[in-house]
Amino acid sequence: MAERASTTTLPGTTGSAIDRAQLDRIVLRSNPDVQGTTMDGETVLLDLSTGRYYTLNRLGSVIWEHCTGHSTMTDIHAAICDRFDVVPSRALDDLVDLANELIQEGLLQQERR
């Protein structure tokens, strides 16, 4: 059975770093200074360069586990839609919003293929 998707947002997010027209060419990779661990479906991230901790809910955890530099944003979107009971447009909005927030916080890097 698919889980229901829900998100929480980090404060201070402005602008958009992700070009929605290029989702099949954008790959996300975690910053090498960020360590993460997942327990009970939630992920705790530690940015070793700043000492700041972040918590991701179940949806954020699924997104984070795909940020290895191998999956495109389109691939991650498909994984979210397979895993959660969510309208595809909502899943895409949540993915782009969280990716932008994590990029802004310096936790993720985006690469174009």
pLDDT in tens, the chain (113 residues): 444 443 333 333 333 479 999 999 999 999 999 999 999 999 999 999 999 999 999 999 999 999 999 999 999 999 999 999 999 999 999 999 999 999 999 999 999 98
Whole-model pTM: value is 0.83
Contacts of 23 by beta carbon, 8 Å cutoff, 6+ apart? 72, 73, 74, 77
What are the start-end ranges of the E strands in the chain? Answer: 3-4, 26-30, 34-39, 42-47, 52-56, 68-72, 84-85, 108-112
Structural domains in the chain, CATH included, are 26-106 (3.90.930.60)
Q: For tokens 């998100």, what's the residue?
A: 7
